[in-house]
Amino acid sequence: MPAELPPLSRSDAPRPGVGIVHLGLGAFFRAHGAIYVSESMAKSGGDWGILAASIKSPGTRDSLAPQSYAYTALEAGPDGDTAQVIEVIEDMFVAPEDPAALVTAMADPGVKIVTLTVTEKGYCHNPATGDLNLAHPDIAHDLTDPLPRSAPGFLVRALQARRAAGLRPFTVLTCDNLPHNGSVVRKAVLDLAQAIDPDLAAWIATEGRFPSTMVDRIVPATKPADLDRVAALTGRADAAPVIHEPFRQWVIEDDFVDGLRPDLAAVGVELVTDVAPFELMKLRMLNGTHSSLAYLGYLAGHETISDTVADPVFADFARHLWSTEIIPTLTAPEGTDLNAYADVLLERYKNPAIRHLTWQIAMDGSQKLPQRMLGTLTDATTPCPGLYLAVAGWMRYVGGVDEKGGAIDVRDPLADTLKRLSDGSDAPADKVAALLALRDVFSQQVADKIKAPVTAAYETLLTKGARAAVQEVLK
């Protein structure tokens, strides 16, 4: 980044009061929810400034603090880039540095909403059952120590502080990409609260609100070259820009404590009574194909999703997944054409300005598969050879060796377990059986249903490679 450029700094515009605390500040929320909140205040006013918090590390805070938490959001479209400066974040905490201060901030009466993007693993739950994992090291700590480490711990302790002060609870608004996400975080909070204080749990259950949401915008990881890209466009040196595609969508169940929220509808947020049809559509059609293309595309040597679908074999594979395997399991949300939605998705995938790494999408697959692929396979009434192959692709990927014998950097909470299960057998059928027996990922019902076709698909991957295996599906 050119050293002579002036650094990005915050404007002298009046700053709103803090009405939202966000846990787990990363690129996605800064490129999605924060922009919506900023736009809603510009249009309709209100004190909805965001106090952000990192649950683990100081990196984002350390990059944003010198810029007074202003940052550039760069929209990367097929026809070029456009940039806007977002100034909605008022301050940022790093939770491990002072957990008490974060709990106190969340308990402030001005805070009406706590939003989260902590990824599936941040809820410290078992994805297969939905139960909070009370043996998780952070949860075990939070059961007895009022200075929490986990996202559920911060929510529970802050709600406990508000109750003790005679305040109303805040709305817990998760923005993570998992089905029934409001119910997921509600159960995690109630499970932990019940173990700490049953009366607190009863108060949260009665008075609290946990609306489910569906979020959608492709936000690739920001790379060092993107800093130069932003600097060239804006004439400012920004240490923490975010890159995003033009498309965005946010669907929220309109169920907030005392109805208090920003005027999100004014800036295009869909406020609905039931988000389930939208989230299922997105999880299966977008995320299901994204993961399928990520594993098989990576194995075939493609670095990004746009690279993958530039290969006509993989573009046809995505079309096949939608039309033949995924859409038949869905009921369209009111006013939505699922085939047209698929067309939009493919155009988004093709956008060469968005370099969304297959390796990045492949992360945390043990947490993602149940929602993105296995639900479709559970509901399907006809064979799903494309999804069988995608599951087999995940199995080969987590084995840690690519088609050329190179090492794969597998990032997954269960990476060591997955590697051990894969390495524990030589025969492909035994490898598949060992992985299907992992109940944190596969229910017995799903494992029994897909064992034979996934084994066959895995063997095809080994003998023919990913691209040829995809061609077999399309015959």
Average pLDDT over residues 56-71: 96
Instruction: Give me the half-sphere count of Cα atoms (radius 13 Å) on the Cβ side of residue 417.
Output: 14
Phi, psi of 365 (to 5 degrees): -60, -30
Size of the chain in residues: 475
Encode pLDDT of 125-177 as tens digits: 987 788 999 999 999 999 999 999 999 999 999 999 999 999 999 999 999 98
Q: Work out the average pLDDT over 63-85.
A: 96
- CA dihedral of 57, 60, 62, 63, whole degrees rounded to 10: 160
Task: Give yes or no for residue 260 having a pLDDT over 70.
Answer: yes
> In the predicted model, what is the mean pLDDT of residues 15-34?
97
How far is Cα 388 from Cα 380, in angstroms, rounded to an integer?
Answer: 12
Superfamily of segment(s) 277-474:
N-(1-d-carboxylethyl)-l-norvaline Dehydrogenase; domain 2 (1.10.1040.10)
Residues 440-449: tens digit of each pLDDT: 999 999 999 9
Contacts of 303 (CB under 8 A, 6+ apart): 355, 357, 358, 359
Q: What angle do CA 449, 454, 460 make, to 5 degrees?
A: 155
Give mean pLDDT, residues 276-299.
Answer: 96
- Rounded mean pLDDT of 270-285? 93
Percent of the chain beyond pLDDT 70? 99
Fold of 18-274: Rossmann fold (3.40.50)
pLDDT single digits (tens) 291-315: 999 999 999 999 999 999 999 999 9
pTM (predicted TM-score): 0.83
- DSSP code per residue over 35-88: HHHHHHHHHH----EEEEEESS-SHHHHHHGGGTT-EEEEEEETTEEEEEEE--
d(C-alpha 232, C-alpha 184), whole Å? 42
Break the chain into its structural domains and give their ranges: 18-274, 277-474
Distance CA 452, CA 469 (A): 16
Q: Are 104 and 415 in contact (CB under 8 A)?
A: no
Under DSSP, is residue 215 helix (H, G, I), strand (E, B) or coil?
strand
Question: What is the pLDDT, as a whole number, of residue 130?
Answer: 87
Residue partners of 282: CB distance under 8 A and separation at least 6: 214, 216, 249
- C-alpha span between 60 and 34 (Å, rounded): 15
